[in-house]
Amino acid sequence: MSNVAIITGAGSGLGQSTAVRLAQEGISIAVVDVNEQGGNETVELVKKHNVDAIFIKADVSKKEDVKHYVDQTLEHFGKIDYFFNNAGISGSGKYFLDTSIEEIDKIVGINLMGALYGVHYVAKAMLENGGGSIVNTASSAGVIGQDSVVTYSATKHGIVGLTKSMVAEYAKDGLRVNAIAPGPTETPMVKEFYEANPKMKENATGGIPQKRLGTPEEVAELVTFLLTSKAEYINGEVIRIDGGFTNTK
């Protein structure tokens, strides 16, 4: 029986690229997204690699939806080996004091609470089966301070804390939890953010030593490595993948 991965935010961007990359390794995928069209597209891309895949619609800010995607995965596949805890939004790019409370609530609900709920339910299922591997999506804004993304940055710093503290509690039980900290990457979320804030794209690419944005495929390679047995002794790490962006800060 093949290994099984849950990927949230799998309807586009990093989630979709990682789903395809894991499928190339023979891993079955539970595709989770609030976007039905994108999620079903990912399922079709995954199935081209002769592995099983299902789509589960979920709003990760709702704990009932998170429990549902975990239950559905277990019902269909019988286990969960890997979890790419990836769903997230960036927000409007307004300075913090100009940001509405409603937007703050939405970003925290999806990025932080959604990640906490995911780890809570998935890790329980993993530990009942002897362990598993989780990769959380943090950000360059989770390891340094950045303007125009204060709430987003706060949630991504929270992801770093979640990652390290889960290892402190559960590594002895067979759980591995790592995080990635991507810099600006060519995803639909980042594209939308830069279209609304063009000056920030210019500032970002100018500040990246490699002078380009990252690609979802490059991030997918890192996630695949961290999730699988090739990285068995890497635990509690936050791996930056940003072309040197945060190393110059």
HSE toward the beta carbon, residue 34, CA cutoff 13 A:
12
Q: Which residues contact 43 (CB under 8 A, 6 or more apart)?
A: 29, 31, 53, 54, 55
Going from N- to C-terminal start, the domains of the chain cover 4-183+216-237
Tell me, what's the pLDDT at 247? 86
Q: Which amino acid is at 243?
A: G
Contacts of residue 100, defined as CB under 8 A and 6 or more positions apart, other chains included, come to: none
Contacts of 170 (CB under 8 A, 6+ apart): 123, 127, 177
Query: Choosing from 82, 117, 121, 152, which is the catalytic residue?
Result: 152
Non-local (6+) Cβ contacts of 171 within 8 A are 177, 235, 236
Top CATH class of 4-183+216-237 equals alpha beta
- Respond yes or no: is residue 69 known to be catalytic: no
Structure confidence at residue 202 (pLDDT): 67
Q: Tokens for 4?
A: 């099984």
Written as tens digits, the pLDDT of the chain (249 aa) is 899 999 999 999 999 999 999 999 999 999 999 999 999 999 999 999 999 999 999 999 999 999 999 999 999 999 999 999 999 999 999 999 999 999 999 999 999 999 999 999 999 999 999 999 999 999 999 999 999 999 999 999 999 999 999 999 999 999 999 999 999 888 877 777 777 767 666 666 678 898 888 999 999 999 999 999 999 999 999 999 999 999 876
Closest-CA residue to 218 (of 249, 177, 187): 187
